Amino acid sequence: MEAGAVLRHGATGSGAETARPQVKRLLARGAPLAAFLALWQWAAWVPISFNFPTPWQTVVALAELLGSGALLQASATSLQSLVLGFGAAILIGVPLGLLMGVVRGVGRVARVYLDLLIALPTAALIPLVILSFGINVVSSAVIIFVFSAPFITMNAYGGVRDTRPRLVEMARAFGASWGKLFTRIVLPSALPMILAGLRLGLSRAFLGLIVAELLLSPFGLGKLIMNSRSMFEHDKMFATVAWTLVLAGIALAVLARLEARLLRWRAA
C-alpha cells in the first residue's frame, strides 16, 4: 500500500512538474496581449481628440462588418492583390537572388540597385505606378511587389553566399556536376535564408497592401479603413485594422509551419 501511494504521489508530482513549464509558457505568451488590451481600454477612457473605441466596441463592430459582408468582400479584393504581388515577388525574387549568388558579376550589379530600392521610400513610387498602371488591382499588386521583392531577393542571395566553401570544394573533388552541386549543396544551404526572406517579404507585402489601398485603391481593406475614418466610425476603422492583423498573423503562421516542415531535415 505504501509503495503504491509513493508511486501515485511520484506520478502526480511528475505530472505537475511537466505542467508547470506549459503554464509558464502560456502566461508568457498571454501577458503581452493582456497588457496591450489593458492599455487599449485605458486609452479609451482618457478623453482625447476623437472617439477612441474600447476593445469590446471594436469586437462588436467587427461582428457587424462580418455580418454585412463588407469586410469579407474587401478582404477578397485585398487578398487578390496580395497574392498577385507577393507571388510575383517570390517567382522573380528567389531565382534572381540565387543567380546573384552563383554568378558574382550579376550579384555585384544587381545588389547596387536592390540596395537603392530598399533605401528608397517606397511610397514615393506610387505616383509613378498610378501613371503606368492606373488605379486598379494591378497597381496595388505592383506596389506590393516593390515592397517585398527586394528583401526576398537579398535573402536568397545571402543564403547562397553563406554556403560553406569547404562543402563546395569537397563536392567538386568527388566530381559532382554543377547541377548536383547546386541542388545538393547550395540550395539546401540557402533554404533557411530563403524562407526567412519569405517571412520578411510577407510582412512587407501586407504593409505595401495597406499603403497602396490607403492611397490609390477604390476598394479593399485600406479603402474600408479610409471610409470608416471619414464617417467618424472609429470602431469600424479599428475593427478593420484588427482584421488585417489577424489575416497577416494567419498567413505568417502558415508560412512558419511550412518552414518547419521544409527544415525538418536540419533537426535530424
pLDDT at 96 over 90: yes
Same domain, 215 and 146: yes
Same domain, 192 and 235: yes
Q: 4 is in which domain, residue-wise?
A: 1-46
Segment 218-237 mean pLDDT: 85
Q: Which residues contact 84 (CB under 8 A, 6 or more apart)?
A: 137, 138, 141, 144
Nearest CA-CA partner of 146 in 117, 119, 124:
117
Q: Cα–Cα–Cα angle for 133, 138, 140, nearest 5°?
A: 100
Higher pLDDT, 245 or 51: 245
Same domain, 37 and 134: no
Segment 176-201 mean pLDDT: 81
CATH code where residue 259 lies:
1.10.3720.10
pTM of the model: 0.80
DSSP 8-class letter at 122: G
Classify 69 as helix, strand or coil.
coil
Same domain, 35 and 74: no
Q: How many CB atoms lie within 10 A of CB 176?
A: 16
In this prediction, residue 63 carries a pLDDT of 93
Domain count, the chain: 2
Same domain, 165 and 249: yes
Each residue of 129-173: pLDDT tens digit? 888 888 888 888 999 999 999 999 999 999 888 876 676 666 666
Same domain, 113 and 203: yes
**From CA 127, how far away is CA 134, in angstroms rounded?**
10
pLDDT band at 118 (very low <50, low <70, confident <90, very high): confident
Same domain, 29 and 122: no
> How many CA atoms lie within 13 Å of 254's alpha carbon, on the beta-carbon side?
8
In this prediction, residue 7 carries a pLDDT of 47
Write down the residue that cell numbers 535530424 correspond to.
268
Dihedral (CA of 40, 43, 45, 48) sign: negative
Each residue of 14-63: pLDDT tens digit? 555 555 667 777 767 777 777 777 777 776 677 665 677 888 888 999 99
